[in-house]
Amino acid sequence: MKGTKKGAALLGATLLLTSIVGCSSKSNEAGSSPSGSAGAASPSKAAEGAKLPPVTLKIILPGDRPADMDAVIKEAEKRMADTINVKLDLVFVPWSDLAQKTQVMLASGENVDLIFDAPWLHMEQMISAGYYEPLEDLLNQYGQDAVKVRSQQMFDANKFQGHIYALPMGNTHLAGRTYLVRKDLREKYGLPPIQSYDDLIKFAYKVKENEKGIVPLLAYGQAGQKDVSWGAFRAFMEYDPQILRSDALGQSLVLYYKNNDGKVYNLFDEMEPRVWSWIQDARKLYLDGLIHPDILALKDIDSVINSGKVGAAVYNEFGVPSSMSAAVAQNVPGAELEPVTFIQMEKGKNITNFKQANFQAIPKVSKNKERAMMFLNWTAQKDNYDLLAYGIEGKNYEKVGEDQYKQIGSNYSYFPYAWIWNPTTDRLNAGFDAETIKHYQFNKDADNLTPSILTGFSFDPGPVMNEISLYNATEDKYYNSIFDGVVDSDETWAKFKKEASANAKKIQNELQKQIDAFLASK
What residue ranges do the domains of the chain occupy?
A: 5-172+354-432
CB neighbours of 417 closer than 8 A, spacing ≥ 6?
Answer: 169, 170, 171, 358
For 322-346, give one letter per residue: b (16+ CB within 10 A) or e.
Answer: bbbbbbbeeebeebbbbbbbbbeee
**Which run of H or of E encompasses 10?**
helix 5-19
Q: What is the pTM of this model?
A: 0.75
CB neighbours of 375 closer than 8 A, spacing ≥ 6?
Answer: 57, 80, 84, 86, 114
Regions of the chain where pLDDT drops below 50 = 1-49
Look up residue 202 and give its amino acid: K
Summarize pLDDT for 32-55 with one digit per residue, the tens: 222 223 233 444 444 444 679 999
| 8 Å CB contact between 85 and 401 | no
CB neighbours of 179 closer than 8 A, spacing ≥ 6?
Answer: 194, 200, 312, 313, 314, 315, 339, 340, 341
Cα separation, 522 vs 515, in Å, equals 11
Q: For 353, list phi and psi in degrees, rounded to 5.
A: -100, 10
Summarize pLDDT for 379-392 with one digit per residue, the tens: 999 999 999 999 99
Cα separation, 196 vs 125, in Å, equals 38
CB neighbours of 433 closer than 8 A, spacing ≥ 6?
Answer: 319, 338, 339
For the beta sheet containing 243-245, the strands, ordered from the edge strand earlier in sequence to the opposite edge, are 243-245, 255-258, 265-266
Q: Which value, in Å, is the radius of gyration of the alpha carbons in the chain?
A: 23
Residue 315, strand partner residues: 178
Cα separation, 263 vs 470, in Å, equals 23
For 434-450, give one letter per residue: b (16+ CB within 10 A) or e.
Answer: eebbebbbbbbebebbe
Tell me the CATH number for domain 5-172+354-432: 3.40.190.10
The predicted pLDDT at position 50 comes to 61
Residue among 19, 91, 29, 18 nearest 56 (CA): 91
Dihedral Cα 91, 248, 295, 179, nearest 10 deg? -90
